[in-house]
Structure 1
């Protein structure tokens, strides 16, 4: 569809309404520092009704620059409501920079009609909204999308059949694969399910109901995650049954029909819409950002990547000035033909262990890998093993599960944490390298090949890379978990993806490989009996033995920091 200028023969002149953005948004705007100066005063047209694909009313707010002329439009669709923080962060700020912003509540949320069914209606409802935009006198035919988390999911859903007006996408700490958010190798990401359940159920109702819900979840988290059986026990923590939560928990197999069409990841394979991806090294969705970056690059789509020192939440708090600047530059370049704010390289990553960033042409940078091996006495060595002899053993007891600490979580405890107390437990193995005589940069995907035997055949394994400073403080860098499928007493090998990182181990620091039988309640505990974790009422401890032919594989960094 060709672009048109509002107010010409293509349609009647549009007269901006007199409404100002809500006071709460203006207050929030006044507290932010480090943002670009506003170019325009912003206006607000709240409570518009857009017919969804099936006619359900989708409540929509329109923000706009108070100025004459044609401006591109940004579509922001959210299941979390249209108030703070979405109103100031997306409606107000982008309108001040010269964009019409359409901020819409997904069906069944924030006053919109219909029933919210997680991912099942977003593609059709997004297309219906674009159809509605075509009839607006202020729409000039140039469209972009922007938003984080589930607001990223709705962008990928629209990109399954991108409308011709769509010229740019900005996916911030974004979701495309619901299965991977809720399960890892068939193991339930229990804490994610509960956090998302609370957010989806209450955030769109307003700040007070959401705060109350999060406090209730915090108070009742232990009871909900240690109940026997686990199935249905979340209800007290979430204030009642949530049907989609039951469904998600009950379908651990990615091949189950329940997950059919849940992920719009394939949209990236043929996408031609310029797309920038923003993530954090401790974002719960960091792996999904790297997956989409790889798909887009292979498809020849223009793409960029920013990975900062953030969690899922802190990217939009502590990292917001940089996230906003990155997003604004991309949108101006591709919607306004102004590339002046773009950085010269496609990739920028923050290097952990430093206060610096590195610009790269692509991710991961071209590099080799180094294998580190466990040896008796808790040592981590470059020497290849001569056999598959046992190196160490520990007992994992699901009645007293190894706790989770830091890492890519949705809770306030996410991110880098001192693991020293965790590593003092009897059910945690650690293998530590010698003090480094020069800095070592790890840049790219990390993985572990574990040779494991058990006495029951039923276990999970959690593996983590840590940076140990000269004082003995052990800080998590990246990690992963896999389900063991072993024959009793016979070693089996499993490869565990441990996410990606850009991290510098400084001179005098040591690398540490941490191994345990789980991380609870981040992951549902393995009952040790072969029974489903949802239904198990009887637990059986398992003895897990690590063998010498295991390896931690680290990618080399390249270039100066």
Structure 2
């Protein structure tokens, strides 16, 4: 199998650099198309893998990146029309059998999705594989409840924005020279400190609605495979895409980060050959063999087990296979308050997202800190987690960040869940609200303690709320905020596996 570079014309004639790998056997062949801003040459081994299984495989540099000329405007222009032109080109080739799958990870998943959601015709594919999908500009820039994802967006834009190539370590180098870089105000001018022009950075924070891709997907009848990681910041976007999709949809949530890699605690039984699964799923999807309903599986990370997910929520075979369990803040068997029922959220000294250490009870409280008793037996978590909080802030705008950490019997800390919401309740008025903590897939061993932190900031992962009522990305003035958490009525809610009915992930996904 040889890989050749061809140039596929976009609708305006722009030649898009594309690597093409064909099977050794004569055609016709189904095709898989990958469009990426991260460099098509990085996919050559993947293309050979697809070709070895009978697929014509294409990896293309998107317009304005690497080998493709033009201007690149992330998420805004050309991806849908350029993707449609590439799919139509593939169908016209003598080796083509007419069936096309579009696939990709992260931004490449965005390219695949907008191509799949385009107008009917030769440019629309027959199936789509979206792994850890970056759904759109607004979806990647902010959490569902509003707080800005500062660290990840600064890193991505520094590495890839407004340039034809990539510098993956650009932000790390900038931080080494300027450790307080991410504290720069206003956030919209942060790029001034990076040492190169980033004209698209301020527009990243424009007030545009989230959820457009999910809404468009509700009308799509193509088969979808949505792949996510329980440790991926876009995990909830992956789940939302799957839940809202209009055609046969499959969800695979593994114990992975955004790079679809796991940490050292991953069980050998958790590991999957994703390439082989993609091929098997693609064959089933193109042959029309997938059952029409939504199906999915979620890892129970640390156990090597997988649990079935239904459209309504994670559950196994049997109506009572999962249940919601509560850890009240005011009960001995729940979460015990250690300190910080009243605390100060000071954006000049924010609680940091990159440090799991917590202050001692003698320090001035900058967060509310709670701890559970040791688990009496292993606990399987497979589904949504939320924190229901009764609290007060004395400022006109307040972010509420909840971080849940698993402490093993030796006291080692492992991040378990996180959520953040933005509130604009009247100052001093008690409010009751829910903080979504994502979808969990973990097995916690006996003796594990759950530690919960409730804070006003989660920096630098998220921009600091200035507490003045101003837009956090344009504000230049910061003010502290006094907070109070009422234990009575507040609780942590987790979805636990009540009946252990496990599944094999590959057959579940491909049927």
After TM superposition, is the score higher than 0.5? yes
Using the alignment, how far apart are the partners of 1:305 and 1:73 within structure 2? 22
Match of 1:492 among 392, 406, 431: 431
Residue 328 of structure 1 aligns to a residue in which SS?
A: helix
Q: Does 1:123 align with 2:72?
A: no
The corresponding residue for 1:132 is: 89
The corresponding residue for 2:154 is: 194
Q: Cα–Cα, structure 1 residues 447 and 221, in superposed 2: closer, same or farther, change >3 Å? A: farther
The corresponding residue for 2:132 is: 173
C-alpha distance after superposition, 1:7-44 (max 9, x if no partner): xxxxxxxxxxxxxxxxxxxxxxxxxxxxxxxxxxx211
Q: Is the CA contact 2:374–2:446 (under 8 Å) kept in the aligned structure 1?
A: yes
Matched ranges for 1:83-482 at <5 A: 83-84=41-42, 86-89=43-46, 91-120=47-76, 121-160=78-117, 161-163=119-121, 166-184=125-143, 185-201=145-161, 205=165, 210-211=167-168, 213-219=170-176, 222-237=179-194, 239-249=195-205, 251=206, 253-255=207-209, 263-296=212-245, 299=246, 301-315=247-261, 322-335=273-286, 346-360=295-309, 363-365=313-315, 367-375=322-330, 381=334, 392-405=341-354, 419-421=356-358, 426-482=365-421
TM-score, length-scaled by structure 1: 0.78
- How far apart are residue 274 of structure 1 and its match? 1.6
Using the alignment, how far apart are the partners of 1:537 and 1:49 within structure 2? 47
Q: Is the CA contact 2:181–2:193 (under 8 Å) kept in the aligned structure 1?
A: yes
- How far apart are residue 317 of structure 1 and its match? 11
The corresponding residue for 1:82 is: 40
TM-score, length-scaled by structure 2: 0.85
The corresponding residue for 2:505 is: none
Using the alignment, how far apart are the partners of 1:536 and 1:190 within structure 2? 14
Q: Cα–Cα, structure 1 residues 44 and 326, in superposed 2: closer, same or farther, change >3 Å? A: same
Q: Is the CA contact 1:52–1:125 (under 8 Å) kept in the aligned structure 2?
A: yes
C-alpha distance after superposition, 1:192-236 (max 9, x if no partner): 21122134338962xxx5245254244257432111333312233
Residue 69 of structure 2 aligns to a residue in which SS?
A: coil
Q: Is the CA contact 1:374–1:391 (under 8 Å) kept in the aligned structure 2?
A: no
Q: How many residues align?
A: 479
Over the residues paired in the alignment, what is the CA RMSD in angstroms?
3.0
Residue 343 of structure 2 aligns to a residue in which SS?
A: strand
- How far apart are residue 337 of structure 1 and its match? 7.9
C-alpha distance after superposition, 1:106-134 (max 9, x if no partner): 11112323321212321111112222223
In the alignment, structure 1 segments of 5+ residues that lack a partner are 1-41, 384-389, 407-418
C-alpha distance after superposition, 1:152-201 (max 9, x if no partner): 11121112235467332211111224312111222211012112213433
The corresponding residue for 2:493 is: 553
C-alpha distance after superposition, 1:464-490 (max 9, x if no partner): 222222222332211110112222222
- How far apart are residue 242 of structure 1 and its match? 1.8
Q: Is the CA contact 1:529–1:539 (under 8 Å) kept in the aligned structure 2?
A: yes
Deviates more, 1:479-488 or 1:330-339: 330-339
